[in-house]
Structure 1
């Protein structure tokens, strides 16, 4: 294992997530800004291109910047 993070898109929702584990027939994903993980069926996971990961990171930073 290379140790590099793997980022994918949940094709059901369009959300980009970091792969945390593959267990019990599910892929466990975590939002890029951290937070609660969610389960995704393996057939609903698509590789995220670098530009898609960057857009998701920028959107998270913008969202976090608007919080009080």
Structure 2
């Protein structure tokens, strides 16, 4: 099943949490929380992120931002 655009998902190939940005050809396009380089994921290797995983990436981004590591 294709996850809707805007959904938080986990790419099980690499364990990264991303936001679904779209679907292009056979791939689901993901972007890291807070922005960054998109990557293509196999839709069969994508699962919906748990609330804990969503909070974890948001907290990590907020911490990095407070340290000036990201804008």
Structure 1 and Structure 2 fold alike (TM over 0.5): yes
- Structure 2: state its 5+ residue gaps: none
Q: 2:32 — aligned with what?
A: 31
TM-score by length of 2: 0.81
Q: 2:52 — aligned with what?
A: 51
Q: How far 1:61 sits from its partner (Å)?
A: 1.5
Count of matched residue positions in the alignment of Structure 1 and Structure 2: 66
Relative distance call for 1:4 and 1:11 in structure 2 (3 A) is: closer
For the residues of structure 1 that align with 2:25 and 2:62, how far apart are their CA atoms? 32
Relative distance call for 1:30 and 1:4 in structure 2 (3 A) is: closer
Q: How far 1:31 sits from its partner (Å)?
A: 0.4
Q: 2:63 — aligned with what?
A: 62
